[in-house]
Amino acid sequence: MQGSVMQRINEALKRELESPRLSRLEYRSYEHIAEEVMREVEHVQAPLTKDELKRGALNLLRILMELRIRKALIALMEGNLDRASLLEEERLLLGPLMALAHRPEAATHVERVFVVLGSGISRVVTSDLARVGPLERGDIAVVPREDSERLAREGNGVVVRGVRLV
Tell me the domains of the chain and their CATH numbers.
Answer: 3-101 (no CATH), 106-165 (3.40.5.50)
Residue 98 binned pLDDT confidence (cut-offs 50, 70, 90): confident
Model pTM greater than 0.75?
Answer: no
Over residues 38-63, the pLDDT tens digits come to: 888 888 777 778 788 888 888 989 99
Q: Of the segments 61-70, 98-107, 148-157, which one has the largest average pLDDT value?
A: 61-70
Q: Is the pLDDT of residue 17 over 90?
A: yes
Rounded to an integer, what is the distance from CA 42 to the centroid of its chain?
Answer: 33
Q: What is the spatial distance between Cα 151 and Cα 115, in angstroms, rounded to a whole number?
A: 8
